[in-house]
Structure 1
């Protein structure tokens, strides 16, 4: 069974540069898998913060992580510079699925690809609610089909 080609930078709309740290490497000499998940979470939340879509302590509606996944394609190791690419893959009524890719240095092909699903909930009740219109509008700007 053949694997799909790695995603390219052209498939993403928002980018966040990240510097690897010495402690990111594991005993095998490459960045440990849990660090990739941290980078993905950081990129999604930076997108929300950079676009004023989230006030961490006070937003009445917040995105709760419902699902994440990552496929590792090639190694990254300290002191590599990385860039996380982000696009909206699916925008539902109360949920959003982000497509995420992690690029090493200036590589055009991703070293890892993943997904991240937020379900929007009312902060007080923790029950699903529609994605607020102003949030949806910004998400549509980075929609993969847009």
Structure 2
């Protein structure tokens, strides 16, 4: 999907949301949110969803997700003191991998300010060899997976 297609994302394109109150330290010298903070936000909503809806525990899961690719497209600057709303959806779900898309919205604004995310490949914690995600993880991710272009 091209960056231009993602630019038109709306809140209704996402199935799970998490709010984030920006901090002064999120801004860079140009008075907008530093690019690295966007990746912090992507990681936060994805891991929040995995913990709450997929049974992923930081220390007890035998299968873990490793990030193998990531991306971010920026459309409008955001920064302190804004409240952001992050939307999450699953754009691709395989046997041992999942691609997440996160929309970053300004509070009360319908169109995205940025779209990004990453792909997890699930591996065995003990040896880092490819492993299948558990049925609990799969069931949680399927709730956000695109079917026929809609959630």
Scaled by the length of structure 1, what TM-score is found? 0.95
Report if the CA contact (8 A) 1:6-1:73 is conserved: no
- C-alpha deviation, 1:7, in angstroms: 0.9
Q: Which ranges of structure 2 fall in alignment gaps of 5 or more residues? A: none
Query: Tell me, what secondary structure is at the counterpart of 1:3?
Result: helix
Q: Which ranges of structure 1 fall in alignment gaps of 5 or more residues? A: none
Partners of 1:82 and 1:140 in 2: CA distance? 25
Aligned counterpart for 1:49 among listed residues 39, 48, 51: 51
Partner of 2:112: 110
- C-alpha deviation, 1:6, in angstroms: 2.5
Q: How far does the alpha carbon of each residue in 1:2-35 deviate from its partner, in whole angstroms, 9 at most, with x for none?
A: 9334311111001011110000001001001000
Partner of 2:4: 3
Report if the CA contact (8 A) 1:11-1:144 is conserved: no
Partners of 1:65 and 1:35 in 2: CA distance? 17
RMSD: 1.3
- Segment drifting more, 29-38 vs 52-61: 52-61
Partner of 1:141: 143
Partners of 1:64 and 1:3 in 2: CA distance? 28
